[in-house]
Chain A
């Protein structure tokens, strides 16, 4: 129980939080904008990880794998939205149920293709450790933190400085009023899905060198992402970022100090927020 353990746990937690942000920010936008609880989101995270792994291991390039995972999952997400969900627009319960079917299809397909094995691949350039003040850190986890910061900044800029971003933020608050101004909000749905799914695929792929990819990865991280969206407040960028880090750090601290509570803590946190502050921890 040294200070060293504590610092390592916190750093690992932030690294995990960076990945969690990639899966939950898309989920949060989709939920906030369209009202859809997207159960297929975790499957996209997992498929991104598998595709990332395949490209990593065959090209030996981290960048190519991440790009392939992002691109393929953007495409798949866009297809799910325009091919399936668009036909049920207005029926948010029906849409959520359809994503449950999609989740079942994708998870099962992945299981048939890749089986029960855990696949892992680490880039040579980030294999090592760094010693800072007598504490040893894994290079890859530090890379994750930096990479996560870049992605968060990119998402923030999209939402803050583009037309689509402004429309999405406004529509999360009051969709009807945005339409009353003459803007067809539905046109932003597909782009939100493409963006969110790409981020999920990227998050899954970038996690492979640390934790690997295995068949229950999708559902596990989907549940974490649900907790984060609830804790951070639906549709809130700042909230999702803060909650991702909070959940990441809490999970890692619990895993070090009270392992039997590791996952349960997250959902206790989620329950507490739902009961005490249903609008989430962060406003707007």
Chain B
């Protein structure tokens, strides 16, 4: 966080805002992926399906129906949740391990290859995809101000809640939450006036800051929601299922329901990310939506960050996206190769991911 001013200086403000925004959006996506992998042991090779459905739902709502953006986002959330539940019913008999991974992959690939076909271009826009109408609300000046206030409110209330919550239970995990939130607040305050200055210059420049705040706030909300959920009884049942499914079932838990719930949640969160990403990049096409590479990136972000805590995928996404964009300046085409190498190195050197580094800090302090 302290290096922020330096990064701003070197990369330029609009670009930095753009990079951060895509980090927030992709973090939502990788967070949804890690809920399934980290808490239920479900490796979803076809996770991009949800992301793509969110993107396309938003495109249909904005372009074909002229719906307000908020309605498009809500529709995406709904479509994501429904498809998560639908996929759960499809895999019902083999809801684990390799069969699940392959079934979800097959479903995604069917959609992907159909969407790429010229014959279905009315639906998909063909290989070029659909160019999205920029939502009117994202051009408005007022939007970012509202979100600054809303964001500050959310952050402030969660700091209070985190402080209250950190007293009794596990010290290690919750003690970090206020720190992270303090950092978020710092970023918010540091950036807000810059952004206001910039967004006054032209409507086109306002779009990025507006997306910055919208996605930041949705990420913070989703993070807090996820964190709360995984620490609740539901999260404990999820972990019990991951550890030993038969035992969880013998204890009287309806394993399918808990898994379907996670799928619905992950599906809607990934669809939300897609719903933000499509208009932010002005376009959605089959390769951005449903391609295996999009699923692969969910895996890379999550594993580098660590899937055992909701913070992990966010750290991983931030790290990878920054690395890739900044390296691209110096190494050009080689940046993805370096990301691949980092990924492999993390697999060996830090099995708990970047989040594992943070875990050590509180432990050391406790050791006094």
Contact = CB atoms under 8 A, between A and B. Distances in A.
Whether A and B touch (Cβ < 8 Å) is answered with yes
Interface of A: 37, 84, 87-88, 93-94, 97-98, 100-105, 108-109, 111-112, 219, 223, 226-227, 230, 259-264, 267-268, 270-271, 274-275, 278
Contacts of B105: 226
Centre residue among A104, A109, A261 by max chain B CB count within 10 A? A104
A120 B120 CA distance: 30
B106 A227 contact: yes
Contacts of A98: 344, 347
Contacts of B341: 101, 105
Interface string B219-242: 000000000000000000000000
A27 to B, nearest CB: 13
A117 to B, nearest CB: 15
Given A108-B337, A278-B94, A226 B102 contact: yes
A260 B114 contact: yes
Contact of A260 (B118, B293, B334): B118
B340 interface: yes
B109 interface: yes
- The secondary structure that dominates the A interface is helix
Interface string B86-101: 0000100110001101
A281 to B, nearest CB: 15
B289 interface: no
Contacts of A262: 113
Given A223-B292, A278-B94, A264 B336 contact: no
A105 B110 contact: no
Contacts of B340: 101-102, 104-105, 108
Given A104-B339, A263-B113, A275 B93 contact: yes
Given A84-B344, A112-B333, A264-B113, A100 B106 contact: no
Contacts of B103: 271, 274-275
Interface in B301-339: 303, 333-334, 336-337, 339
Given A274-B94, A278-B94, A264 B114 contact: yes
Given A93-B43, A94-B347, A108-B336, A271 B114 contact: no
Contacts of B348: 87-88
B334 A267 contact: no
A247 to B, nearest CB: 13
Contacts of B118: 260
Contacts of B300: 100-101, 104
Contacts of B337: 104-105, 108-109, 112
A271 B94 CA distance: 12
A267 B334 CA distance: 33
B180 interface: no
B24 interface: no
Contacts of A271: 103, 106-107, 110
A267 B93 contact: no
B215 to A, nearest CB: 26
Nearest to B303: A97
Contacts of A97: 299, 303, 347
A278 B103 CA distance: 10
26 contacts: A88-B347, A88-B348, A100-B296, A101-B300, A101-B341, A104-B300, A104-B336, A104-B339, A104-B340, A105-B337, A105-B341, A108-B337, A230-B102, A259-B117, A260-B118, A260-B119, A260-B120, A263-B113, A267-B113, A268-B110, A270-B106, A271-B106, A274-B94, A274-B102, A274-B103, A278-B99
Contact of A219 (B117, B292, B347, B351): B292
Centre residue among A88, A98, A270, A274 by max chain B CB count within 10 A? A274
